[in-house]
Each structure stands twice: as structure tokens, then as C-alpha cells.
Amino acid sequence: MLDILLTPIKAMRLRYIPLLLVYFAYGSSVFTAIAENFWVKETLDMSAANLAELGIWLTVPWTVKMIFGSLVDSVLIFGSNRKSYVYIGALLITLSSLMMIAVVGDYSIVAEFSKKSVYIFASVIAVVGFVMQDVVADTMSTEVVDKSQSKEEIHRELASIQVLARLSLGFAIFITGWIGGELASVFKDNREVVFMMAMFVPLLSILGVTLVNLNPVPVSKINRQVLFGGLIFAIFVVTMGYAQVPYSQEIVFVVSLGIVLYLLNDLIADLSEDAIRHIKMAMIIIFVYRAMPSVGASLQWWQIDVLGFDESFFAKLSAISGGIALAGMWFSAKFIVKRNIAEVLIFLTIIGTLLSMPIIAMYYDIHTMLGVEARTVALVDTALASPFDYIAQVLMLTLVAIHAPEGKKGTWFALMASLMNIALSAGGLLTKYLNKIFVVSREVITDGVVTTTQDYSQLGDLLWVAIVAGFVIPIVVIVKFNPSKA
């Protein structure tokens, strides 16, 4: 037990700390999440399906990470192909925060624009900034290792760094999500204050990348196929979205999946046949696992309107979720490194399904029949579910780090991450379709007039469909494509 407890501490090295600060900054992006969710619900006339569609578009920058990965491998900016990109990302995140301060605070500088437009643009800018920083952080995670070790020891250190990175991310989500939620309650009448305080986030990434010490890496030739192919795809996506082409999101999904699979197949072509087969099977199950639909924003609306959850309570849920997830990651460090992907994902699928049952029970008012408060059920359910949140991603990133080709690490990480984010887009599309089939709405008041009435009658059906699909489909695919059988 003591050995398990000390595993992350033993793995920590002083040279990791600046890199972990960049991951901490990414996790700190949740600082404004609760304030933002309440502001969107109260201010913007966007349905659950609309918000799901926005979520899909916001995954696109993550999908085209290959552009940033190729740049990080090959293009120097002010003499650097690492730090300068983090600085640019920090600038974009800062601009996004300033825009949110202006729109949430009703400042005159954005009065000529609709609040919805400013919110969407600010969200896109922030995502691009975090994508740039994430690409560099993932690349640097392979460049802080001690190269004088044996190959097996280097692989073990790469796995340890991925665990420590997720721990840093989890700790940031825990502490900043909780504090940000409590501040959202305190400043519920002046929510722009929370966004002002969020300006610390880009400062953390700047501090980390300024102090980090990396192994010397060669600047590789520009992979024109990846870079220009990615740029053409990015232009295609922007055009599709701006022109509002029918089924644009579906078209973008199919095209992006085809491009990434082609580029990834080309990139791993020189690996051994066994390694390629193992990676492909792992990618299939990870893709399906991440592509499952969620209920969407309507669940949180119901919790606010019917169960009476407020900002402060959501802050407590965030703290419990982040804290226990952090502890779970800490104690499962050895488990994560040693177990194969299929075993862990089957376990996570079963546990996730079981822990969805209390939400279903609350919808049908079973907690009231049993004399249990809804907040108690939510607290216990959140506490039980939290430790399993990040394990799948750590496993995949460890696999990616082990097989990262020299001179192509940025592109490699970017393409693999793009595939996982395309899976999230698939999940977003399914979520959008479910919310169009099972229409759930909260009350919307515009200029003192109720323009949309509250209706949660179909939320139960939506919950059941999402939960059953999220259990049956992954289990079938994981059993069929278990990479350990390869």
C-alpha cells in the first residue's frame, strides 16, 4: 500500500515541474466553467442541440492538431519551435478572457455585436490557444527524460511522465474548478469578475515553458503533406461552417476521419507489423469508447431548475470530482502502467454504467421515496465516479509516447490526439441527434417575454438511450478488438 502511495512521488523529478505547470494551466481552464454555464443558461437563447453543435465545432481545432504538430517539429518562431508556440497560445487565451469579460460585463466595446457571436468567437480563440500549448506540452513530455538510461527505463519514465501530467491536470481541475465555482456563487451578479481572475491561467503556462529545460532536438524538414494538407482541411472546415452548408458537421467529420487515418497510416508505416496491428486495434476501441453520446446540457439545466442545484453546490461537486479523481489517479499509477487497454476500458464501461443509475433514479424521484436528498445522491455518485475519469487517456498517451518516432514527435502526438478528438466529435454528433429526437428545454425569457417554455418530460428517455448505448456498444467493440489478442 505504501509503495503504491509513493509511486508518483518516487517518479517525480525536478526537471518535470516546469512542464507540469503547462498541464496545470490547461486544467485551470475549468476555473470559469460554472460561471460560464450559468451565464449561458440565463443569457443566451441556445437549445441543448445548439450547444451540442457548438461543442462539435470547438473540437475541430483539436482535430487539426497535425498542423500545429508539424509546425512544432519544423518551423522556428523567434528561434524556437517549442516555447514561442506556448507564448502565442497564452496570448490567444488572454484575448479570449478579455472578450468574455467584455460580453459578460455588458461593456460597450462589444455592444455592436450579439452576445452569442462574441461568446462563440471567444470560445474558439481559447480552444486554439489551448491546442497549441497542448501540442507543445505533449511533445516536450518526451524531451525531459534522461536519455542515458536503457530503452526499458526510458519507456517506464515516459509512462511515469504521462501519469504525472494527468495528476497535474487533475489537481488543477480539482482546485481551480472548486474555487472558480465558489467565486461564481459569490459574484453571481457580477460574473465578469470571475473571468478577470482567470487571467492567471496564461501566466502559469508562460512561467512553465520559460523555465523548462529540454533535451536538444533536431529541427526536421517540413512534412508538406501533413502541413499543407492540414491547412487545406482547416480552410475547408471554416468554409463549411461559415457558409452553413447542410450537414456540414457530418461532412467535416467524415473528411477529417479519412484524412487523419490516411496520415496516421503513412506515419506508422515503418513500424513493425505487430506494433502496427496492436496500435490499430487499440485505436479502434479508444475511438469507440470516446465516441459514445452524452445527455448534453439538458441534464444540468434539469439539475438547476428542478433539483435546485446552484453555483456553490456545483463548485462542491467539482471539488469532490477533481479531488477524488486525483486520488484515484495517484493510487492507480501502477495499475495504469501495467494493465492493457482493453481490460481497463471494459472495467470503466461497466463502472460508468452502474454509476449512471443514481441519475436515472433521481429523475424518477426514487430518492424522494427513499427519503434521501437529491444533493446527497449527487455528492455520493460524483465521489464514486470520479477516480475513473482520466485512466483511458493516460493509457493511450503512454502508448503514443512509447512509439513516438524521432524527429516526428510533434506530428505523431498531434495525429493520435486528433483521432481521439474526432471520436469526441462523433459523440457530439450523436448527442445532437439525441437532443433533436428527445427535445428538452429550459425556460427562456427575452425582453420580459417567455419565448421557450420549460419541458423536461423527455429527459428520462434521453438518459436511458445514452446510458444503454454507452454500455452495449463499447463492450462489444472492446471484446472483438482486444489488442492483447493480437
Q: What is the DSSP string of 138-205?
A: HHHTTSSS-TTS-HHHHHHHHHHHHHHHHHHHHHHHHHHHHHHHHHHHHTTT-THHHHHHTTHHHHHH
Model pLDDT, residue 221:
77
Average pLDDT over residues 446-460: 83
Residue 452 identity (one-letter amino acid): T
Positive or negative: CA dihedral 115, 117, 123, 125: negative
- State the Cα–Cα distance between residues 98 and 110, nearest whole angstrom: 11
Count of alpha carbons within 13 angstroms of residue 199, beta-carbon side: 9
Write the DSSP symbol of residue 390: S
CATH of the domain at 81: 1.20.1250.20
Alpha-carbon torsion (345, 349, 324, 425), positive or negative: positive
Look at residues 256, 230, 241 and name the one whose alpha carbon lies nearest to residue 424: 256
Distance CA 67, CA 64 (A): 6
Characterise 478 by phi-psi region: left (phi > 0), alpha (psi -120 to 50), beta (else).
alpha
SS3 of the chain: helix, strand, coil, percent, to 5? 75, 0, 20
Q: What is the DSSP string of 84-103?
A: HHHHHHHHHHHHHHHHHHHH
pLDDT of residue 432: 92
How much of the chain, in percent, has pLDDT values that exceed 70?
83
- Residues 6 or more apart whose Cβ sits within 8 Å of residue 258: none
Q: In this predicted model, which residue has the larger pLDDT, 473 or 337? A: 473
Please report, for residues 58, 120, 383, the alpha-carbon distance to residue 297 in angstroms, rounded to integers and kept in the order given: 15, 16, 21
Structural domain total, the chain: 1
Q: Is the pLDDT of residue 387 over 60?
A: no
**Chain segment 22-57, per-residue pLDDT in tens:** 889 988 998 999 999 999 988 888 888 888 888 888
Q: Is the pLDDT of residue 336 over 70?
A: no
pLDDT at 193: 94
Find the domain containing 277 and state its range: 2-212+221-485
> What is the reported pLDDT for 309?
87
Helices 83-104 & 33-43 angle (0-180, nearest 10)? 40
List residues bridging with 445 in a β-sheet. Answer: 450
Flag whether pLDDT at 126 surpasses 70.
yes
pLDDT on residue 66: 72
Closest CA to 207 of 410, 17, 13, 15: 17
Torsion of CA 375, 377, 383, 387, to 10 degrees: -130
Nearest Cα neighbor of 399 from 187, 224, 142 is 142
Q: What is the pLDDT of residue 223?
A: 72
Q: What is the pLDDT of residues 160-171, one digit of tens each?
A: 777 788 788 878
What is the pTM (predicted TM-score) of this model? 0.75
Identify the pLDDT of residue 335: 57
Q: What is the largest CA-CA distance in the chain?
A: 70
* pLDDT exceeds cutoff 90 at 92: yes
Q: Would you state the cell numbers that stand for residue 418, as one nine-digit string?
A: 486528433
